[in-house]
Amino acid sequence: MSKDELWMQRCLDLAVLGAGKTSPNPMVGAVIVNNDKIIGEGYTSPYGGPHAEVNAIQSVIDRYGENSKVLFKESTIYVSLEPCAHFGKTPPCADLIVSKGFERAVIACQDPYAKVNGLGIQKLKDAGIEVELGILEEKAKWVNRRFFTRLKEFRPYVILKWAETADGYFAPLSNVQRWISNKASKQLVHKWRAEEDAVLVGKGTAKADNPSLTVREWEGRNPKRILIDKNLEITNDFNLYNTEAETLIFNAEVTDWRANIKLIALENFDLYLPQQILYQLYLMDVQSIIIEGGKKTLDMFIDAGLWDEARVFRSNEKWGEGMVSPKISGKMIDHIKVGTDSLLFFIKA
């Protein structure tokens, strides 16, 4: 691994510390290097706060004071995504980098957002800063796959999640709740919820499991809870109606927003339902969503080809009978152990 790759990997390691906090902005890390030594670093603050470059530059100022002015002019700044070139919630990071007089800037990948998309890089070049683009580019794109998907496909990044037995069953034939995965896997799911914008279930899962869809077994913010309930059969005594998180209920009857409960009626409810839901969520700045079930809901998104990633827990337990697990045509990219469970990661092929 080259020195540029080493420092960029540090940027990526920092970037993911913003998981679940920066949306709809991307997760970005920045590192400032002087004479082969990191003198400052940072990552993007929660949405509306300073970007990674600002935090990295400020860390140098806090540490070196007036000497930072000289250090910046002798340093390279590494950033995992092209610095912004426009005024949004914060001023342009490209302008800040130029004002500090950096000698060199190394950037993992270009930002496809229309108000940036090469303009940040051009600002740096026009100021005489040497720019290197494409270091660990694919890794950087993977870190911000949610951000890129939303910009390019006008929908949230979709993660499918389910648990299945060793012999391929998803749920009992009856509506009785029966756990497949272990406690460690359950806690991991709560961590995932804290990292994504929303989590979705169908009416059947709400009835059978009465889930809260919160992160009560992990530290973090609760995601938006999404329920598909065509005829509003889930009553307000179910956990999804409590005040722990914002809940959006897609239905065919009523639009009514009150406190944390938002009823959203869809015209032609049964026509292109996954597409309708994802577009509505896109308009609400939802950048990522976990589809947690049930099987009918998962199959609906799979059949529509509207998924990007699947995370499948497989236990050692065998049932002999039950509801057969969803089937996907995808590429397995990882396989790890979570206690007694196996966890398989897939991406859509």
Catalytic, 53? Answer yes
Q: 236-244 long-range CB contacts below 8 Å, 24 or more apart? A: 236/261, 238/206, 238/210, 239/210, 239/211, 239/212, 239/213, 240/206, 240/211, 240/212, 240/213, 242/212, 244/212, 244/214
Which among 41, 53, 164, 195 is annotated as catalytic? 53
- The H helix count followed by the E strand count for the chain is 11, 17
What span, in angstroms and rounded, lies between the C-alpha atoms of 211 and 32? 45
Sign of CA dihedral 190, 175, 231, 296: positive
What span, in angstroms and rounded, lies between the C-alpha atoms of 216 and 219? 7
Amino acid code (one letter) for 265:
A
Closest CA relative to residue 97, chosen from 64, 66, 65, 130 = 130
Amino acid code (one letter) for 158:
V
Spell out a b/e string for 237-269, using b for 16 or more CB atoms within 10 Å of the CB, else e: ebbbbeebbebbbbbeeeeeeeeebbbbebeeb
Residues labelled catalytic: 53
